[in-house]
Amino acid sequence: MSEASEIPFDPDALRDRYRVERDKRLRADGNEQYVEMKDAFGRYLDDPYVDQSIEREPVFDEVDVVLVGGGFGGLQAAARLRQAGIDDIRIIEKGGDFGGTWYWNRYPGAQCDVESYCYLPLLEELDYVPREKYSYAKEILAHSAAIGEHFDLYKSALFQTEVKRLDWDDDARRWIVHTNQGDAIRARFVSMANGPLHRPKLPGIPGIDTFKGHSFHTSRWDYDYTGGGPDGGLDKLTDKRVAIIGTGATAIQCVPFLGETAEQLYVFQRTPSTVDVRGNRPTDTAWADSLEAGWQKHRMENFNALISGVPQKEDLVDDGWTDLIGKMLQHFRRAKDGDNMDIPTVMEMANFEKMEEIRARVDEYVDDPDVAEKLKPYYKMFCKRPTFNDDYLPTFNRANVTLVDTNGQGVDRVTENGVVVGGVEYEVDCIIYSTGFEVGTSYTRRSGYEVYGKAGRALSDHWSEGTRTLHGMGSYGFPNLFIMNTSQGGFTANFPHLLDESAVHQAHIIKHALEQGFTQVEVEQASEDQWVDTILGFSGGPLGGLGGPDCTPGYYNNEGQPNPTAAQSAPYGGGSIRFFKLLEEWREDGAFEGLRFLS
C-alpha cells in the first residue's frame, strides 16, 4: 500500500461519505433523546422471568461483605472472596437468579460474541469447557448458576432485591445497605458490581405511549407473547406483524429468529451495524481433554494481547476480533518498516480496507441491491460495537422481512397502530425495542441508587466533574467501598477478564483488612488526585479510545456530543495489559500504597 494508486478505494470519497453520514445523524439532544424507564414506562422494567414475586421479611443483620449485583462481576467477586477464606458475604440481586446481563438478555439468539473459552468466568475452577466456541445465553445462564452452586453462593443471595441507597455510618464504620424490600443490612465492606449496561432505555419517539398493541424491550423478552424460547421457535408470531426498532448488537442476534416465524417483520434501522463472520462451532472434545492447568488465564491473556495490538507467537482464539485488530496491526507495522505514509494514515487506510470488506459481505449475502446498499455501514470500524453473525444479512432475503431504513433519522412517530417512517405507517401487532442501555448518564442514576460516604457526601457530588478513584476501584471519602467498573480502570473487549482482575484485587485488600483487624480502609486523597492526573495524562475517550468526535453518534461517543467529564472518566489509557500488570505489582509490593488503614 505504499502507492496511492494501489489502493482499491477512494479514501477522499470515503472520508466525505463518512462525514455526511455522521452529520445527518448528529442531534442536539444527545442522550436526552432517550426516555428513562420510569413512571408510565416503568413497566418495561418488570421481570418477565420470575413466576412469582417474593414475599419475605426485611433483613437487618450484619455481614463482612455485601456485593451489589449477582452477574459476572458479583459472582467473580464472591468466588475470589470465598477463595480468600471470606465466607460472610451477601449478594443482593434484583433478578430472580444469578446471571446479570445473561439473566436479563435471554432474547432469542443471545450469544456471547467474545469466545466462550475466554469469556465465561471460572471455567477451570468449575472444570467446565463450554459446548461451543460462542455460547448461547442458556448455557451462560446455567454456568452462572453453576458458579453459584460451586461456591455455595445461593445461601448468601437475596434475589428480587434492589439496592436503593448506601449510607456510611462513620461511628460504627459500617455501610448500611437499604433495599426495596425494606432491608437495612450492615456491612463492613461493599462492592458495587452493578454492570455497565444495566438500565435499558427507550427512544423518545413521539407517540410511543399511544401504541395499542404489545411492546417490550429486548432485555425483558416476552416469551408468553412470542412463544418459543432463547433457542428460537417463536411459534406464537406466525400470525403477527412485528416491528423491531434498533439494529445494534442485540438486534443482529435476534432478527434472524424473528424473521423465521413472524408473519411480517419490519426492521427499523437508523444506523447499520458492521456484521462480520461468526463461524461458531462445537467444541472439539479432544482439544478440551488436552487442556492443561492454567489454560483459561493463558488464553484470556493471549486474546487480550492480540486485541491490544501486542504481537503473540500464536493466535489461540483466531476469530473476528483478533483478525480485526491483527489486520490493522499488519498495516501499522508495514508503515513502521518504511512505508512512506505516516502511521495515522496507514491506520486509517487499514480501517477503510476492513470496512470495505464488511460492505462487500453485505453484497455477498443480500440479494436485493437496494436493500444491500442500505445495510452498508459508512463509518470507521470501532465507531460502533462490531458485531458477528452469519444469519442476520440473509434474513433480509426472506419475503416476510422488510428493512425500513430511516436514512439516519430514526423512527418519526409511533401511532396507536404502528410505526411511521417517511410518512408511511407500518401497522404492527407488536413493537420490540432493541434500543440499548443507558451509558452516558451518571453512574448513580445507572446504578439505581445513591451512595452517601463520610459526612453524608454523595458519590454523585464527589464525581460531578468526572470519576475520582484510585485504580477505578475506590474513592476518597468512601471507605470500605469497591467499584467494579471500566471508568479509571481497565478496558478490554473481554469484560469478564477485567471483572476478574478487579475481583482478585479487592479480595486481596479485604482479606488483608480483616486478617489484620482493620475496620476501615480508605483511598488517600493524594493518591486519588494522582490517579486522576494519570488518567487525564492519557487522551483516551470514554471507552478506551473507541468512538470519537468524527464518528456517527452512539454510546461510544456520548451520542456525538461533547462530554466535559469524558477524559476524567475514561479507562486507564495505557491499555488493559499495563493496567493489570500495575495492579499485580501493587499487590506484590505489599505496601498497599495509596490506602489508609485504621484499626
Interface ranges with ligand NDP (CB under 6 A): 111-113, 197, 203, 205, 245-251, 253, 268, 270-271, 385, 406, 410-411, 434-437, 554-555
Residue 35 or 459: the one with the smaller Cβ distance to ligand NDP is 35
**In the bound complex, what is the minimum distance in angstroms from residue 319's beta carbon to ligand NDP?**
13
Residue 73 or 474: the one with the smaller Cβ distance to ligand NDP is 73
Contacts of 385 (CB under 8 A, 6+ apart): 248, 249, 273, 556
**In the bound complex, what is the minimum distance in angstroms from residue 231's beta carbon to ligand NDP?**
16
The amino acid present at 345, given as its one-letter code, is T
Cell of 516: 489484620
**In the bound complex, what is the minimum distance in angstroms from residue 190's beta carbon to ligand NDP?**
26
Residue 106 or 505: the one with the smaller Cβ distance to ligand NDP is 106
Query: Is the distance from CB of 348 to CB of 366 less than 8 angstroms?
Result: no
> Count of CB atoms within 10 A of residue 60's CB?
11
**In the bound complex, what is the minimum distance in angstroms from residue 123's beta carbon to ligand NDP?**
17
**In the bound complex, what is the minimum distance in angstroms from residue 458's beta carbon to ligand NDP?**
28
Residue 36 or 87: the one with the smaller Cβ distance to ligand NDP is 36
Cα-Cα-Cα-Cα dihedral sign, residues 473, 496, 246, 17: positive
Query: Is the distance from CB of 211 to CB of 414 less than 8 angstroms?
Result: yes
572: which DSSP letter?
A: P
Residue 76 or 435: the one with the smaller Cβ distance to ligand NDP is 435
Q: How far is residue 597's CA from residue 595's CA, in Å, rounded to a whole number?
A: 6
**In the bound complex, what is the minimum distance in angstroms from residue 254's beta carbon to ligand NDP?**
9
Q: What share of the chain is helix, strand, coil (3-state, %, to 5)?
A: 40, 15, 45
Give how far Cα 430 sits from Cα of 150, 193, 400, Å. 41, 34, 15
Residue 278 or 462: the one with the smaller Cβ distance to ligand NDP is 278
Element containing residue 488 per DSSP (H, E):
none
Best CA proximity match to 543, nearest among 387, 434, 437, 384: 384
**In the bound complex, what is the minimum distance in angstroms from residue 82's beta carbon to ligand NDP?**
27
One-character DSSP codes across 520-560: EEEE-HHHHHHHHHHHHHS---TTTT-S-TTSPSSGGGGGG
Give how far Cα 564 sits from Cα of 437, 466, 481, 532, 533, Å. 21, 8, 26, 14, 15
Residue 211 or 476: the one with the smaller Cβ distance to ligand NDP is 211
**In the bound complex, what is the minimum distance in angstroms from residue 298's beta carbon to ligand NDP?**
22
200 alpha carbon, distance to own chain's centre: 12
Residue 192 or 205: the one with the smaller Cβ distance to ligand NDP is 205
Q: Are strands 264-269 and 241-245 parallel, antiparallel or unpaired?
A: parallel
**In the bound complex, what is the minimum distance in angstroms from residue 500's beta carbon to ligand NDP?**
17
Residue 305 or 420: the one with the smaller Cβ distance to ligand NDP is 420
Residue 63 or 75: the one with the smaller Cβ distance to ligand NDP is 75
Residue 100 or 203: the one with the smaller Cβ distance to ligand NDP is 203
Query: Is the distance from CB of 74 to CB of 100 less than 8 angstroms?
Result: yes
Cα-Cα-Cα-Cα dihedral sign, residues 494, 497, 502, 507: positive
**In the bound complex, what is the minimum distance in angstroms from residue 197's beta carbon to ligand NDP?**
5
**In the bound complex, what is the minimum distance in angstroms from residue 368's beta carbon to ligand NDP?**
21
Residue 118 or 251: the one with the smaller Cβ distance to ligand NDP is 251
**In the bound complex, what is the minimum distance in angstroms from residue 119's beta carbon to ligand NDP?**
8
Burial of 271 (0-12, 13-18, 19+ CB in 10 A): buried
Ramachandran sector of residue 246 (left: φ over 0; alpha: ψ -120 to 50; beta: rest): left
28: which DSSP letter?
A: T
Contacts of 550 (CB under 8 A, 6+ apart): 18, 19, 22, 380
599: which DSSP letter?
A: -
**In the bound complex, what is the minimum distance in angstroms from residue 204's beta carbon to ligand NDP?**
7
Residue 268 or 352: the one with the smaller Cβ distance to ligand NDP is 268
**In the bound complex, what is the minimum distance in angstroms from residue 196's beta carbon to ligand NDP?**
8
Residue 477 or 553: the one with the smaller Cβ distance to ligand NDP is 553
Q: How far is residue 243's CA from residue 433's CA, in Å, rounded to a whole number?
A: 8
* Length of the chain, in residues: 599
Cα-Cα-Cα-Cα dihedral sign, residues 514, 515, 520, 524: negative
Q: Which residue do the cell numbers 404489545 mark?
A: 214
Contacts of 52 (CB under 8 A, 6+ apart): none
Q: How far is residue 574's CA from residue 488's CA, in Å, rounded to a whole number?
A: 11
Query: Is the distance from CB of 173 to CB of 118 less than 8 angstroms?
Result: no
